Amino acid sequence: MNADPKNVITWILILIVPVVAVTLVSGFLNYFEPGLIVAVVKEHFAATIGLPMAALLAAFIVVALRHSEGPVKFEGLGMKFEGASGQVILWVVCFLSIAAAIRLLW
């Protein structure tokens, strides 16, 4: 493995973020009684399941575009976005459009 700091940080995030997420979710599930969690998910499905899935779908779209076409660059509203800022703005636009669609259809 290359000892480039960018690669090291990437691999640390790839390994640590899922472990932290699973730990937090399992702690949350153990802290509250199961009936309460099921009731909250049923009552607020769009918020508890829909929005996190929208965030993942938006991230997938950005990553897929990045790998298929290279760096994300675009201009809009008199501003020019390149590199990481282009990816962040594209993710925000994708997430907000998916969240708006969930809101309209719910």
Domain ranges of the chain: 1-31, 43-105
Question: Where residue 56 falls among pLDDT bands split at 50, 70, 90?
Answer: confident
pLDDT at 47 over 60: yes
Element (H, E) at 50: none
Please state the rounded mean pLDDT for residues 65-82.
75
How many helices (H) and strands (E) the chain has is answered by: 5, 2
